[in-house]
Amino acid sequence: MSNDKKAALYIRVSTTHQIDRDSLPMQREELINYSKFALDINKYEVFEDAGFSAKNTDRPAFQQMMSRMRHKEFSHLIVWKIDRISRNLIDFAQMYNELKYLGVTFVSKNEQFQTDTPMGEAMLKIILIFAELERKMTSERVSSVMVNRAQKGLWNGGRIPYGYDYDKTTKTFSINPQEAAIVERIYSMYETVPSLIAIARELNNECITQRSGAPWSPTTISTILHNVFYIGSYRYNRLCEAAGSNKTPSYERKQEDWIICENHHDPLITKERQERVLQKLHSQTRSNKDGAKTYTCKNIHIFGGLLWCGICGSQYQCTSDKMRKNGYVPSLYHCSRRRRFSDCDNSSVTDMTIGPFIINYMANVIKAKESFGKSTSPEMLEKKLLKGEALSAVTGIEHQGLMELYDLFMRKFDNIPYRSKLIKENPSDKPETSESDILLSEKRKQERALQRLQQLYLYSEEHETISDREYAIQKQTITETLETINKRLDAIEKNGTSKTVSDEDFLKTASLFILSNQLQDRRYINFSKFSQSTSKEVWKEFVQNAISKIAVFDSKVVEIRFKNGISHKFLYN
């Protein structure tokens, strides 16, 4: 009965020009009439995406429509033409498989077919192949046109380089005097003091901004020094952009594929001067044998990435400080905003400044946990945490953070037999199997099941065959299971969360265990001596596994945020 049917009418145009020509209203009117009079479906809802390409399905109305399809709201999906949905064969095939699984009939008004018939389904697959071929050929034609334009010196669009203006009428570039003076100054400053950070800081201190109003950074300064546009050349086809709407450059093409038009416009810098500057710039960069840039740290920074400014909130950057008489090279940490703008007064700190505080506080947390009893009060816990010379300047811990740790320690007295439950679930006589091993085993099992399902569907005898619907449902289930397994395996590989460890990881874990026990056994830890007797790598691993953030103000630690989310803020006189 038509009353049981409801259609989703999907319409799309890719350009503003098409919108202005009433393409959307035309599609809407034709699909509504087709639904009513040709298919006898009077219930419908229109979904429209204006100004979106068909190269992928990342479109708001389309995604909303598919989400409602999964809730069984529609019996039909009707489009004016098949390429309104997608010109990408893989994207459409995935969508079509999902529609089959959901029992939704796909209808193309222009091509006159419905997928609830074998002939309609076959026609769909043939049309899709030609639709993708057309898309690729169109893409190649557009690329060829753009390359041809660039070879003739015609501008293909994009951000106008700083220092220039572009006249759309004459299609020519002219020098912007105010911005050109800044470009000249940047080159002069680098020739005098070859420091990208120093140049950015000086410009920002004088309130000189980029055209967008954003402050200067070492990256934007480097871009100006590298850009051949400033010597009068136009370069095109250097970067190959990744597929998608964000236009993110994925890699640099071979130099012989670049298109460079010399004497394209008036230069701001001579070619010889830019070459001198680039030679000096590249000499500042360490390179490997292949000439690729490398930024390998010679020194391990124990608190690298953890320190944040207690004044402006910027992250601290780290470098190596001067070597001490005993041969130890501490790390120096300074506010990144202060380096760029000089408008933050927070002082720099070294390992020797904050190291004793952090390590002794962590040791106190470990010892407080071991000695914690039912009769321990929050006040007693606070005294244990602040015990020792390194923490003598602290007058207290903010109440909320203290109570969160107190409640955490109290949990061990809950009436839950954690240990007995753990022993039952993991008997000591059973070998431990890593999560990744279990997942890989399951993945192989699912892949074999998918292969058998495909063979049954394609090559089985008539009496053994399965229906299209049953095949789609089973394939969808297996595919989703494989996707879940692969995502978890990727996460394990990225985060290193698998229980099975290599020899190197085992030694590191053992070192961390020994270190935590050493911290527990000592009343006070001399950071200088202890750091020299213990590998910096182990120190760093130990600290970074426990702490996610350390806020510093006036060379003092004012906050420690642990990986479990508990934050301790320290009070001073």
Q: What is the pLDDT of residues 18-36, one digit of tens each?
A: 444 457 888 899 999 999 9
Region 49-78: mean pLDDT is 86
Gap between the Cα atoms of 28 and 48, Å rounded? 9
**pLDDT confidence of residue 270:** 92
DSSP calls for 533-571: HS-HHHHHHHHHHHEEEEEEETTEEEEEEETTS-EEEEE
Region 421-435: mean pLDDT is 41
**pLDDT confidence of residue 169:** 87
CB 322 within 8 A of CB 301: no
CA-nearest of 250, 221, 255, 251 to 235 is: 255
CB 335 within 8 A of CB 314: yes
**pLDDT confidence of residue 494:** 63
Element (H, E) at 569: strand 567-572
With a pLDDT cut of 70, the percent of the chain lying above it is 72
Report CA 166 to chain centroid distance, whole Å: 34
**pLDDT confidence of residue 294:** 41
Q: Is the pLDDT of residue 424 over 50?
A: no
**pLDDT confidence of residue 568:** 94
Q: Is the pLDDT of residue 532 over 70?
A: no
**pLDDT confidence of residue 183:** 93
Region 154-169: mean pLDDT is 85
Report CA 432 to chain centroid distance, whole Å: 33
Cross-strand pairs, 556: 553
| C-alpha distances out from residue 251 to 156, 242, 471, Å | 20, 8, 40
Q: Is the pLDDT of residue 521 over 70?
A: no
**DSSP state letter for 268:** S
**pLDDT confidence of residue 248:** 42
Q: Which residue has the higher pLDDT, 131 or 298?
A: 131
> 299 Cβ partners below 8 Å, 6+ apart?
320, 329, 331, 536
Q: Is the pLDDT of residue 117 over 70?
A: yes
Q: Is the pLDDT of residue 502 over 50?
A: no
CA-nearest of 294, 297, 339 to 315 is: 339
Confidence band, pLDDT 50/70/90 cuts, at residue 233: confident
pLDDT tens column, 293-346: 444 445 688 898 899 999 988 889 888 888 777 667 888 998 888 877 777 888
**pLDDT confidence of residue 426:** 40
**Looking at 70-84, 109-123, 484-498, which range is the least confident one?**
484-498
**DSSP state letter for 391:** G
3-state secondary structure of 41: coil
Give the pTM.
Answer: 0.42
**DSSP state letter for 257:** G
Radius of gyration of the chain (CA): 33
CA-nearest of 115, 280, 266, 271 to 192 is: 280
Q: Is the pLDDT of residue 244 over 80?
A: no
Q: Is the pLDDT of residue 421 over 80?
A: no
Residue 170: half-sphere exposure toward Cβ, Cα within 13 Å: 7
Q: Output the average pLDDT for the chain.
A: 77
Highest averaged pLDDT of the listed ranges 118-127, 233-242, 337-346: 337-346
Gap between the Cα atoms of 53 and 39, Å rounded? 28
Confidence band, pLDDT 50/70/90 cuts, at residue 127: low
Confidence band, pLDDT 50/70/90 cuts, at residue 455: low
Confidence band, pLDDT 50/70/90 cuts, at residue 128: low
**pLDDT confidence of residue 249:** 43
Phi/psi for 183 (5° steps) reads -60, -45
Element (H, E) at 247: none
